[in-house]
């Protein structure tokens, strides 16, 4: 299989409650980029907080790369962060609260991304 056509989806449901689990998908996604694999990151549940302006700067686990650095590298590579619409609504967050490079999506887009991926990992 041509690696340029492979896609992997990471669903992130953690934020400051578990900095390590919040950061690992970004490390993996940035590694996938270097392997010519298309990464998709979907933030759900508390994970949507990672895309809130000025939030990721405070997420770091001992011995790991700061989440903000990994998040910036992911977006600067031309990737979008997909945000769960109902999860944002629950937290009373709107597009203007979020960093650049995000897209608010619903269940149909999540399903589409999952079905078109080689694999899906949930953190």
Cβ-Cβ contacts under 8 Å for 18 (sequence gap 6 or more): none
Q: How far apart are CA 43 and CA 49, in angstroms?
A: 8
Is 3-122 a domain of CATH 3.40.1260.10?
A: yes
Q: How far apart are CA 33 and CA 63, in angstroms?
A: 22
Global pTM value: 0.93
pLDDT number for residue 65: 86
In the chain, which stretches have pLDDT less than 50?
1, 3-4
> Helix, strand or coil for residue 22?
helix
pLDDT number for residue 63: 85
């Amino acid at each position: 299989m041509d690696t340029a056509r492979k896609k992997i989806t990471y669903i992130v449901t953690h934020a400051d409650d578990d900095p390590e689990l919040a950061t690992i998908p970004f490390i993996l996604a940035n590694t996938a980029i270097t392997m010519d694999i298309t990464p998709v990151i979907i933030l759900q549940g508390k994970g949507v907080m990672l895309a809130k302006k000025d939030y990721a700067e405070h997420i770091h686990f001992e011995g790991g790369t700061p989440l903000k650095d990994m998040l910036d590298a992911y977006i600067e590579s031309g990737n979008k962060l997909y945000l769960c619409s109902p999860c944002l609504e629950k937290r009373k967050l709107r597009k203007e609260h979020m960093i650049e490079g995000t897209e608010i999506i619903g269940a149909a887009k999540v399903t589409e991304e999952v079905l078109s991926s080689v694999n899906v990992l949930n953190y």
